[in-house]
A and B are shown apart, each in its own frame.
Chain A
Amino acid sequence: MALSFSTTNKFLLNNQQILRSVLILSVRYKQRGHIADHLVEHHRQSALGKLKNGAAVDAFPPKDDTTKDLRTTPHDFKYVYPDFLPNPIPYLRDRILEKLERKDMFRRRQQIDIPEFYVGSILAVTSADPYAPNRRHRFVGICIQRERHGLKHQFTLRNIVDGLGVEISYELYNPTITKIEVLKLERRLDENLAYLRDAPPEYCTFPFDMEPVKLPPGAGVPLNTIQVPITSTHWQYKWERHDLKGILLPSLPRSVRKAAERFGEPWRQWDIMRQYRTEIHDDDKAEIYEDIEKHKEDLAQYRIDSKENVKITRARPKAAGRKAILDNSNRSNMSTSK
């Protein structure tokens, strides 16, 4: 299935609008319970500002079988740069807005390196936090989803910190993000890994001091064909209904299986006009791709220019921003008052 870019949560079924509690920093708790007192005390006392050796207490090594399957991703830019694709709904298209947003996205990409990553890759994001020591907050996690279009493009990282599942949604073009590193570049079988919330903790625990995994040069993006078991007693969504390839469901009662088949809508994968309405077509993509290619050339030039190769000769001495303006205004005020 193509990447789901709808703003609505596709796992929420039509008449089940579960009232999700909106939490600051999008920290997600298990729906069933509150945090135990001893765990709250533990958090209060732990020095979370310092980088610890390993994130979680009793951390298990993350399991994967990447060595088995090393498939290459088709290097179509719709997989590499999904943030540049606009919303496919025709009455929400605004070509001028898209062009302007793309310009802003390229300007941001000149400032920091936004790497190529996919759902299932492990990222480390450093963002500016005025309340943290060193004014920086670093979070490591597996990317479970990528949503929205253009400048609003978001990705969510999940990790288990001190036994508590934490998910943080970052906007890719947020200027307070100072660094995005890809510690492990890989793909999974699904485009949305929300099911990791109902999986055993070892499948989404990653140490904060994880070393980046280097791929051989010229290699494709490896596909991790891992099948994550769903072991939680209460599931957040009905995972059996969504045709998820990367999960191992437990044995389900017959009624549940039959309902899942009916929900599956086997005709949907053949309906070419429905798919047509959910995707961006070749002529629009060609235009966007032209812009991206031009941006890459500009980027190469920008990086050369910024490397002391070009000496900038100043016509007048460099003023220190606000101070210069204030001095000028004071001088003019004094002159006018006199």
Chain B
Amino acid sequence: MSNLSTRTLRVTVPHAIRSKITGGGQNARHEKIKAILGELFRHERIEGYIRTHDETRQYAERLIELAKKYGDQHVGTMQLMDYWVNDKDLIHKVFKVYVPRYTNTIGPYTNSYRLPIKYGEFKFPHIPRQNIVLEMKDNPYPRIIPDPRNYSNILTNVLLNEARKEYRTERNNRNEKKDK
């Protein structure tokens, strides 16, 4: 397994792993990461504590890079997928949905955005935590940070586009009649 290599991940990888994201040793840490990975691959957009989710983001990126490079017929890659993804239908999703979606892109395949920390709400024993939103790129949901310059859905533009189409079809019909 350790001879599978990929490009450098285009996501910040700190020099040391965050070993204390949960109690119970390394096995518990792996279980936690597997759980969050499963949620991410299934729902494509999740929220959570930055420490756990940023760690999982690295694993998600690496798994997708490996899937892209080696494909689903490679024994080592399938064994890794089998270990890291608990629900086996998600392994199909990775190869059938994510790999084709990201074949022509290099960048990070996930986005992460910081959510505001609600300092006013102090509910004992919870301490205010920095949460993030982790999402797969090109997911079907509306954007988190809306693109303000896409005006094609405002009413005036919709009506104008339709009018333009109508004009064009009528002109084409007139030209065909002339040719005949």
Interface residues in chain A, defined as those with a beta carbon under 8 Å from any beta carbon in chain B: 1-2, 74, 89-91, 265, 267-277, 279-285
Closest chain B residue to A268, Cβ basis: B26
Residues facing A in B2-25 (CB within 8 A) are 2-3, 5-9, 13, 15, 17
Cβ A276 vs Cβ B9 within 8 A: yes
Task: Provide the main secondary structure of the chain A interface.
Answer: helix
Q: Please indicate which of the listed interface residues B3, B27, B30, B84 has the most CB atoms of chain A within 10 Å of its own CB.
A: B3
Cβ A272 vs Cβ B5 within 8 A: no
Cβ A267 vs Cβ B59 within 8 A: no
Cβ A272 vs Cβ B80 within 8 A: yes
Closest chain A residue to B9, Cβ basis: A276
A272 to B30, CA, bound (A): 11
A276 to B2, CA, bound (A): 9
B58 within 8 A of A: yes
Cβ A275 vs Cβ B1 within 8 A: yes
Cβ A267 vs Cβ B30 within 8 A: yes
Given pairs A267-B27, A267-B30, A271-B26, 10 additional interface contacts (CB within 8 A): A74-B3, A89-B15, A265-B26, A273-B13, A274-B17, A275-B1, A279-B5, A281-B6, A282-B8, A283-B7
A326 to B36, CA, bound (A): 76
Cβ A270 vs Cβ B15 within 8 A: no
Cβ A270 vs Cβ B6 within 8 A: no
B83 within 8 A of A: yes
Chain A-chain B contacts (Cβ-Cβ < 8 Å), number: 59
Q: Please indicate which of the listed interface residues B2, B9, B17, B62 has the most CB atoms of chain A within 10 Å of its own CB.
A: B2
Closest chain A residue to B8, Cβ basis: A281
Chain B min CB distance to A190 (Å): 14
Q: Please indicate which of the listed interface residues A269, A271, A272, A284 has the most CB atoms of chain B within 10 Å of its own CB.
A: A272
Residues on A with C-beta less than 8 A from B30 are 267, 270-271
Chain B, interface size: which category?
A: 20 to 34
Residues on B with C-beta less than 8 A from A284 are 8
B90 within 8 A of A: no
Residues on B with C-beta less than 8 A from A272 are 59, 62-63, 66, 80, 84
A267: contacting residue among B15, B26, B80, CB under 8 A: B26
Cβ A270 vs Cβ B83 within 8 A: yes
Residues on B with C-beta less than 8 A from A279 are 2, 5
Residues on A with C-beta less than 8 A from B80 are 270, 272
A74 to B76, CA, bound (A): 15
A2: contacting residue among B3, B9, B62, B84, CB under 8 A: B3
Closest chain A residue to B27, Cβ basis: A267
Closest chain A residue to B79, Cβ basis: A270
Cβ B8 vs Cβ A270 within 8 A: no
Cβ B2 vs Cβ A283 within 8 A: no
Cβ A273 vs Cβ B17 within 8 A: yes
Residues on A with C-beta less than 8 A from B83 are 270
The 3 A-B residue pairs with the shortest CB-CB distance, nearest first, are A281-B8, A282-B7, A2-B2
A184 to B62, CA, bound (A): 39
Chain B min CB distance to A77 (Å): 12
Residues facing A in B57-95 (CB within 8 A) are 58-59, 62-63, 66, 80, 83-84
Residues on B with C-beta less than 8 A from A277 are 13, 15, 17
